[in-house]
């Protein structure tokens, strides 16, 4: 048995050991000592909240070759390996002790076998490199939402990214005492070749829910290595389930209504369904774009953004559609670009940026030129389709002033969205919380696009846009959401949106800017300022209110023809959707709550009743408030 204190004193300089001694947390020291003994680094650096420590991490990322300085001050670029460009779902597994079961939909491995395997890959993985020990806080500091975290990594790029994305947490650890309730992450990029992880066949991301611990090895891509992002979300979902709160894959924004009123919404959308663009709507304020914690506080649903930064897909970010983000990406300040093209002018370029892209430069494939192909003859695009940017929300002009409020912000509404060409109307309010969770959130589907390998238009089920990150059985997760409102005095309203409805010729029925109107109508509904029409599946706007909102906010004429096309109730498609989703639950989710099937049956009954009265397709003009 290794003596923890003796090992730390022997392997750390006095200055770095003293930084840990101040925290006086034996569980923390045990974790660090075990990591040091296992990975065997040449040196260890403990990063506090001190600006000099954080500056050291940033400088090391460039010095070590994991980032390169770009033309604008503060901008750097990182490249992941050619085959290390996204989350490795197949090799991301839960470490489950004998007798545990998360259901067939969640990827797992026997804990003893998994720990043995991943630790064998981590053994001596930091030889001749510096171990970085960084402290962060999920959620605002000194808050009921706060979760302290420690990240151990040998990648200065990973550490640098987290200093942008998360609030510093060293001082927060001082408030823990001897508690072991913090989240812990151990990552090594493994052997490097040209500054990227070499042995990706040994890439592993293993999650231990009992120990609140994540192992990650032989990878650099942020989704596999930035522990506090989706890896921490998995730990948080499990903790939230035990403690009675919610950890969700949601943005948080402030919708600005009449007379200076601000109503806060959260929203969950699968990838490529408009989540980030909704969180950045013109004239509204952003709290966060990705992950939210929700708690009941004094009878009110309150939420926070877990992060303080954005790790966003950069493709199609341009001055027309994303002016605020684009400005931050083209202004001096701290930004990490990853897997974009760096031109010979030392500037970053990406797909869909709205300006001409050079015909040569450097990207994730090395030296690049237009027409370059991979070993299979496929064209290598200038920037990767999953290329990213990492920046501070504080650097955005539309940052909400309550972003760091320890109490969070009150949730007025929740929005669920998907990519749906023929079923859901652009905007609909659920009749109540139960139907909102089940018919809107638990029934999300997203159609594949031309950018996805395989057939276009295939519907993919994605429970509340959180399916990839669940760490509890699916039925339990649904029940937790249903139960969340038990102590609430006023329930948030739940809405569905669909920006991708098409006509019979395949033309989109919604404009890109229309989502602002949908959001502002939802804001009015939360505050009882407008009436709505009753459909079999929920409540939709009246035409007169949309005419006014389009004119006031988009300076556009909204025609009755547009309204009828967009808000037509499509009975056959809605019935087919219920059948598809219910089949998934019956075949794959053994613990599905009975209330889900009962709710599906009730909605199906209403759809058939409306069908008997109006036919298969119903004009919204025929409906009554």
Catalytic residue positions, numbered = 273
Closest listed residue to residue 29, CA positions, set 169, 155, 150? 150
**Residue 599 parent element (H or E):** helix 594-614
Q: Residues 428, 495: contact at Cβ < 8 Å?
A: yes
Paired tokens of 264: 């806060």
Question: What separation in angstroms does the CA of 139 have from each of 142, 144, 264?
Answer: 9, 9, 17
* DSSP H helices in 14-134: 14-23, 26-39, 51-63, 111-122
CA 419 to chain CA centroid, nearest Å: 17
Please give the C-alpha separations between residue 259 and each of 252, 377, 522, 541, in angstroms, as whole numbers.
21, 59, 16, 21
Close Cβ partners of 300 (under 8 Å, ≥ 6 residues apart): 410, 488, 489, 490
Sign of the torsion formed by the C-alpha atoms of 463, 467, 470 and 476: positive
Q: What is the Cα gyration radius of the chain? A: 25
**DSSP per-residue letters across 513-559:** THHHHHHHHHHHHHTT-S-EEE-SS-EEE-HHHHHHHHHHHH-----
CB contact at 8 A, 537 and 575: no
Q: Are the C-beta atoms of residues 19 and 46 closer than 8 Å to each other?
A: yes
Distance CA 201, CA 552 (A): 55
Contacts of 259 (CB under 8 A, 6+ apart): none
């Amino acid at each position: 048995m290794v003596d923890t204190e003796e090992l730390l004193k022997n392997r750390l300089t006095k200055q770095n050991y003293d930084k840990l001694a101040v925290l006086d947390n034996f569980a923390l020291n045990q974790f660090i000592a075990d990591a040091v003994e296992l990975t065997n680094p040449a040196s260890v650096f403990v990063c506090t909240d001190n600006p000099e420590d954080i500056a050291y991490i940033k400088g090391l990322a460039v010095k070590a070759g994991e980032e390169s300085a770009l033309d604008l001050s503060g901008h750097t670029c990182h490249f992941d390996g050619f085959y290390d460009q996204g989350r490795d779902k197949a090799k991301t597994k839960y470490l489950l002790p004998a007798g545990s079961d998360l259901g067939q939909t969640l990827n797992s491995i026997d804990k003893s076998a998994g720990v043995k395997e991943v630790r064998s890959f981590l053994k001596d993985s930091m030889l001749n490199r510096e171990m970085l020990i960084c402290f962060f806080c999920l959620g605002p500091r000194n808050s009921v939402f706060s979760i302290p975290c420690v990240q151990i990594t040998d990648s200065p790029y990973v550490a640098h990214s987290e200093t942008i994305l998360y609030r510093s947490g060293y001082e927060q650890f001082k408030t823990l005492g001897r508690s072991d309730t913090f989240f812990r992450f151990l990552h090594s990029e493994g052997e490097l070749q040209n500054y990227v992880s070499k042995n990706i066949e040994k890439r592993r991301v293993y999650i231990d829910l009992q120990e609140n611990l994540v192992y990650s090895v032989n990878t650099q891509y942020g989704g596999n290595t930035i522990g506090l992002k989706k890896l921490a979300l998995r730990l948080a979902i499990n903790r939230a389930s035990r403690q009675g709160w919610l950890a969700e894959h949601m943005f948080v924004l402030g919708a600005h209504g009449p007379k200076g009123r601000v109503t806060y919404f959260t929203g969950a959308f699968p990838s490529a369904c408009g989540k980030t663009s909704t969180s950045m709507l013109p004239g509204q304020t952003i709290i966060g774009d990705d992950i939210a914690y929700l708690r009941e506080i004094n009878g009110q649903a309150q939420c926070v953004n877990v992060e303080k930064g954005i790790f966003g897909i950069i493709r199609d970010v341009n001055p027309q559609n994303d002016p605020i983000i684009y400005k931050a990406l083209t202004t001096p300040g701290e930004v990490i670009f990853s897997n974009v093209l760096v031109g010979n002018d030392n500037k970053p370029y990406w797909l869909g940026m709205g300006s001409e892209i050079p015909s040569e430069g450097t990207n994730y494939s090395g030296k690049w030129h237009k027409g370059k192909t991979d070993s299979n003859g496929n064209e290598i695009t200038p920037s990767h389709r999953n290329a990213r940017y990492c920046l501070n929300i504080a650097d955005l002009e539309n940052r909400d002033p309550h972003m760091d409020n320890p109490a969070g912000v009150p949730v007025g509404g929740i929005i669920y969205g998907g990519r749906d060409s023929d079923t859901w109307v652009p905007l609909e309010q659920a009749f109540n919380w139960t139907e909102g969770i089940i018919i809107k959130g638990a029934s999300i589907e997203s159609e594949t696009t031309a950018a996805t390998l395989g057939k276009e238009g295939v519907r993919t089920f994605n429970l509340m846009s959180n399916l990839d990150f669940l760490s509890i059985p699916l039925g339990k997760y649904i029940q937790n959401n249903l139960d969340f409102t038990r102590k609430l005095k006023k329930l948030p309203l739940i809405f569905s949106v669909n920006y991708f409805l098409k006509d019979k010729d395949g033309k989109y029925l919604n404009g890109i800017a229309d989502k602002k109107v949908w959001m502002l109508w939802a804001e009015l509904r939360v505050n009882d300022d407008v009436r709505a029409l009753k459909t079999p599946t929920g409540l939709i706007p009246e035409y007169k209110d949309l005419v006014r909102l389009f004119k006031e906010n988009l300076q556009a004429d909204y025609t009755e023809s547009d309204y009828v096309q967009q808000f037509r109730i499509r009975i056959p498609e809605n019935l087919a959707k219920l059948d598809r989703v219910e089949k998934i639950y019956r075949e794959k989710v053994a613990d599905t709550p009975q209330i889900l099937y009962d709710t599906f049956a009730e909605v199906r009954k209403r759809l058939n009743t409306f069908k008997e009265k109006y036919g298969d397709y119903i004009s919204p003009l025929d409906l009554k408030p």
